[in-house]
Amino acid sequence: MQTAGTAPSEDGLRRERFAEHTVITITGDLDISSAPSLRERLDVALRDAGPHVVIDLSGVTFCDASGLALLTGARRRAEREGASIVLAAPRPHMIRLLRVSGLSRMFAVRPSVDAARASGAGVRPAAA
């Protein structure tokens, strides 16, 4: 698959634009100290990302409530633009955190980036 555009890699976030989707890779800690700068860069990465966005979490080493808020905010922004977000390749600690927090019901979560790219599945509807 050809990359239509790759944003320069900044510490913690990289964006790759493909014809049918965009992959945003987040690495490092998603915590209270990193969330503000990541939020700004994620907002930029979501602009013109297209209708299908994959957020690769395979490189996330730690996540707290600020990181979960970052993902939830990204989901809301994407929905306003008519896009879907799929979370891909979360490590076991992220899977547990998504389940415990209930966010695994709000996001489509796939075991790998390839599975998320192939799925074309959108965001699951939020529970009322």
In angstroms, the CA 128 to CA 120 distance is 24
- Each residue of 48-80: pLDDT tens digit? 899 999 999 999 999 999 999 999 999 999 999
Query: pTM to 2 decimals?
Result: 0.85
Tell me: pLDDT of 11 over 60: yes
Go through the domains of the chain in sequence order and give each one's CATH number: 3-119 (3.30.750.24)
